[in-house]
Amino acid sequence: MSEGQVKRVSGPVVVASGLEGPRMFDVVRVGVLGLVGEVIRLVEGDATIQVYEDTTGIRPGDKVENTGQALSVELGPGLLKSIYDGIQRPLNVIQQEGGDFIARGLTAAPLDEKAVWEFTPTKKAGEKVVPGEVLGTVPETPLLTHRVLVPPGVEGTLNRLAAGRYTVRDTIGEVLTAEGKTIALGLSHRWKVRVPRPVTRKLPPMVPLITGQRVIDTFFPIAKGGTAAIPGPFGSGKTVTQQQLAKWAEADVVVYVGCGERGNEMTEVLTEFPHLEDPKSKRPLMERTILIANTSNMPVAAREASIYTGITIAEYYRDMGYDVALMADSTSRWAEALREISGRLEEMPGEEGYPAYLGRRLAEFYERAGQVEVLGPGARQGSVTVIGAVSPPGGDVSEPVSQNTLRVTRVFWALDASLANRRHFPSINWLSSYSLYTGDLGPWYAEHVAKGWAALRNEAIELLQKEAELQEIVQLVGSDALPEREKAVLDTARMIREDYLQQSAYDEVDTYTSIGKQFRMLQAILGFGRRETEAVGKGVALSKAVELPVRVKIARMKTQSEKDGLGAFDLLDREMTDGFRVLEEEAAA
């Protein structure tokens, strides 16, 4: 370690002189307490450092030690079920040692060094191995088997590899490289958070990430390995939506990054998640979840690092061949951390004071998502899906963070405060939102759901758009002035909104809807709408069509269990046909 001394202090930014050979992004220890920091600028022998802890008490002349290593995370068994801060300090361990508040300079091993793991090798001594190859497995939790990988950059012949019970600090084997160098292998390895983990190739987005949320899966789907933004004002349901996605999305691993959120919101997440049940296995959801908590009252610099910590952990599980969903809540607070640090560096500000490189940093982060063919033999595939919440001031999505996010993400779920105030959840506005994956995912829906899926979806969206146009006329002249056919359009659109798009996260059945049930529900609603329009054209009064008993059954579809299969929809269809036939016969008579 080389030593220097503090020259100047400005909040979390410290300027140090006298360090030997410092490099960009080297991790340093500042002051008597050894506060963790990172070199972010080098000018004429002076190193500018962003410190990840409160710098109160640091003064010129205090020592600064350079570790010579970039900010990195430790990757291995034990990550699941953990709760970390922005620089991978385990908060539950720190709480046991020092209470509810993190003492400055306090560090703890990211992975439990005393935990013993049962390692079962899948390779033998004498075999050649390449980066990303699976050396063996460890049962990390009942929900997930941890695949121990050859670290990137390591290639050669296995000297030894033995089954047994190991800690993350033990050596499980050795690799002899082509240069004759022996490299020890363990259950864990470290990786620099700002460097994307390498892959063989990126794959096109062809498979949807099924979430069980009807407004998302049907109208604005996201692909596995895709990117989505959820901008919305305070109270519009961003956090609840992300929690629903974490619970129900078809992902093997969930990484939830609470980046600069209010302490009470993050507390709710930290207290609720350990008690959530994985709906498929009935095991605790935390057995496939990693939480990273960096609240708004924690040091601002660590907030900037937290999303890199999260995406690196997500890439690690992707490299094992798993599908990972990363929730970043919220990137607006991360951007505010960038703005504060940039201001202390006296950089030229861009729009609204954000640094000029805000767009590039956001793009670099979201570009680490994707469906990929991972390193190693066998063409294994994995994915990282990134869903970032944005909290624009006053709900104004024209501000820089929202606009730069929308440039790089392909799904926009626009949360609407007026919908939330009407208790319509998820409060995703169907007129403002969009998904650029719809065309790519069309063949999958046609093959796995129904060939008529795209046509049905388009018909529903057209009805909702037509409703918005008619509502403008209604506000001027009243609904009574509309022709019966257009009243029927409004009625069908209302059914789509209330009986399909509105979904309760707290109802045991309605909280999740399979993709097959979604198709049959929408088919039933639109089928009723078509018959209603035809009947009105044949002289049937709209009021009589609305009063049909089958209408109530359609409204109750979403709370009916799928355990009995989807046969109930066939009965519903026959009842609709019979009901409208009777009405038409009465009108003709």
Residues 492-502 pLDDT 10s: 999 999 999 99
Residues 6+ positions from 469 with CB-CB distance below 8 Å? none
The two tokens of residue 291 are 């939480």
Domain ranges for the chain: 2-70, 113-187, 202-345+359-435, 453-588
Res 524: pLDDT: 95
Cis amide linkage into residue 121, ω under 30° from 0: no
- How many Å apart are CA 408 and CA 233, to the nearest integer? 21
Give the angle subtended at the CA of 517 by the CAs of 512 and 518, to the nearest 5°. 80
Neighbours of 581 (CB within 10 A): 12
Res 99: pLDDT: 67
pLDDT (tens digit per residue) in 348-363: 889 999 999 999 999 9
Q: Are 323 and 381 in contact (CB under 8 A)?
A: no
pLDDT confidence of 392, banded at 50, 70, 90? confident
Res 98: pLDDT: 67
The two tokens of residue 548 are 């049909």
Q: Are 407 and 365 in contact (CB under 8 A)?
A: no
Res 255: pLDDT: 95
Res 240: pLDDT: 81
Q: Tell which wins on pLDDT, 105 or 475.
A: 475
Closest CA to 470 of 456, 488, 455: 488
- How many Å apart are CA 66 and CA 73, to the nearest integer? 18
Q: Are 205 and 226 in contact (CB under 8 A)?
A: yes
* Structural domain 453-588, CATH architecture: Orthogonal Bundle (1.10)
pLDDT confidence of 263, banded at 50, 70, 90? low
14-48: b (≥16 Cβ within 10 Å) or e: bbbebbeebeebbbbbbbeebbbbbbbeeeeebbb
Q: Tell which wins on pLDDT, 314 or 100.
A: 314
Bridge partners, residue 337, by sequence: none
CATH C-level class of 2-70: mainly beta
CATH number given to 202-345+359-435:
3.40.50.300
Percentage of residues in the chain with pLDDT exceeding 70? 98
CATH number given to 113-187:
2.40.50.100
Give mean pLDDT, residues 183-193. Answer: 95
Residue 285 has pLDDT above 90, yes or no: no
Residue 258 has pLDDT above 90, yes or no: no
Reported pTM = 0.93
pLDDT (tens digit per residue) in 517-538: 999 999 999 999 999 999 999 9
pLDDT (tens digit per residue) in 91-101: 888 777 766 66
Query: Mean pLDDT in the chain?
Result: 90
Give mean pLDDT, residues 220-239. Answer: 88
Residues 6+ positions from 421 with CB-CB distance below 8 Å? none
Residue 477 has pLDDT above 90, yes or no: no
Give mean pLDDT, residues 475-485. Answer: 84
pLDDT confidence of 85, banded at 50, 70, 90? confident
- How many Å apart are CA 328 and CA 326, to the nearest integer? 6
| Mean pLDDT lowest among 215-229, 313-327, 552-566 | 552-566
Q: Long-range CB contacts (< 8 A, 24+ apart) of 436-440?
A: 436/410, 436/411, 437/205, 437/208, 437/221, 437/222, 437/223, 437/226, 437/410, 437/411, 438/220, 438/221, 440/204, 440/205, 440/206, 440/223
Q: Are 509 and 559 in contact (CB under 8 A)?
A: yes
- How many Å apart are CA 539 and CA 10, to the nearest integer? 78
Residue 433's Cα: distance from chain center in Å? 18
Closest CA to 186 of 135, 122, 142: 135
Give 458-502 as a 3 state SS string: HHHHHHHHHHHHHHHHHHHHCHHHCCHHHHHHHHHHHHHHHHHHC
- How many Å apart are CA 175 and CA 127, to the nearest integer? 10
Residue 146 has pLDDT above 90, yes or no: yes
DSSP 347: P
pLDDT (tens digit per residue) in 42-63: 998 899 999 988 888 999 999 9
- How many Å apart are CA 251 and CA 448, to the nearest integer? 18
Res 111: pLDDT: 95
Q: Are 305 and 52 in contact (CB under 8 A)?
A: yes
